[in-house]
Amino acid sequence: MRKDLTMKIDLTGVTALVTGGSSGIGEAISVTLADSGAIVAVHYNTGGERARKMAEEFDNGSEAFGADLVDPDAARNLFVRAAESLGGIDLLVNNAGIFIPVQPDSGHGEWMKTWERTLAVNLTSAGVLCREAIEHFRGRGGRIVNIASRAAFRGETAEYLAYAASKGGMISLSRSIARSFGKEGIKSFAIAPGYVLTPMTEEYLDKHGDEMVANELALDEMTDADDVAPLVAFIASGRLDHATGCTIDINGGSYIH
């Protein structure tokens, strides 16, 4: 029998945990998933007010959950709380991340502080959440989406060594999960955005100017969060399951590899 190839995305019955779900790319992902019918655990660190408002507006049983992901135990606890409260999780979106500059010549202590914080939020907590998700998905299946970065492949500038390394780690984490747990119904995907107009890049663009970023693009407009979010809904629908392990670039053609 042929597969159903209807392209309307209906995520009714899907429950998703989106880290960093109330700002930038995470906000667009949360809204897109909820608009498609999913119940969303909107995670936040400092953006509690916004996260609670979003969950309330979704009006479908979505909830906001706070956790500072610099602490791996908080990451673990986040998954447990969200799964308990929403009656299970079908999709984990590891989106929360930080992009902190530090020059390698700024002193060992300063450099280490940024390295450790970046790795803790961007990679260690993402790994902990993946592990919780794998345990939870065993026997019921599930999907993981890791929001990595073009930096994992192209590399970044000197002040973002930790950021690029954390995103490279995320790619191999994502691929290893896909290879190891596919037989248990667990699928894992990475998305590698280039510059996306969000609060994260505001400061960078203020400093370096839009033009520098725009000149890197093949397209004639900058990427915004709504250019990234639909892919997550598509993955959540299961239509991309046979691409498990893949990384999808969303970078306006700025880095094709």
Q: At what angle do helices 161-181 and 125-137 cross, to 10 degrees?
A: 10
163 is known as an active-site residue: yes
Q: Give yes or no for residue 121 binding ligand NAP (CB under 6 A).
A: yes
Instruction: Kindly report the three-state secondary structure assignment for every residue of 32-84.
Output: HHHHCCCEEEEEECCCHHHHHHHHHHHCCCCEEEECCCCCHHHHHHHHHHHHH
Burial 14-45 (b: 16+ CB within 10 A, else e): bbbbbbbbbbbbbbbbbbbbbebebbbbbbbb
Both tokens of 143, joined, read 């999907």
Among 17, 26, 63, 169, binds ligand NAP (CB under 6 A): 26
Min dist CB 142 to ligand NAP, Å, is 20
Query: Which range in 6-14, 22-30, 31-39, 235-243 contacts ligand NAP by CB under 6 A?
Result: 22-30
- Mask for 172-211, x = binds ligand NAP (CB under 6 A): ---------------------x-xx-xxxx----------
Sheet holding 63-66, edge to edge: 63-66, 39-44, 15-18, 91-94, 142-147, 186-193, 247-250
Q: Please pick, among 44, 163, 204, 255, the residue that the annotation labels catalytic.
A: 163
Kindly state the number of chain residues that form the binding site for ligand NAP, as judged by CB under 6 A.
28
Q: Which is nearer to ligand NAP, 14 or 228 (CB)?
A: 228
- Mask for 67-106, x = binds ligand NAP (CB under 6 A): -xxx------------------------xxxxx-------
Q: Give yes or no for residue 47 binding ligand NAP (CB under 6 A).
A: yes
- Secondary structure (3-state) at 4: coil
Active site residues: 163
Residues within the interface to ligand NAP (CB under 6 A): 20, 22-26, 44-47, 68-70, 95-99, 121, 147, 149, 193, 195-196, 198-201
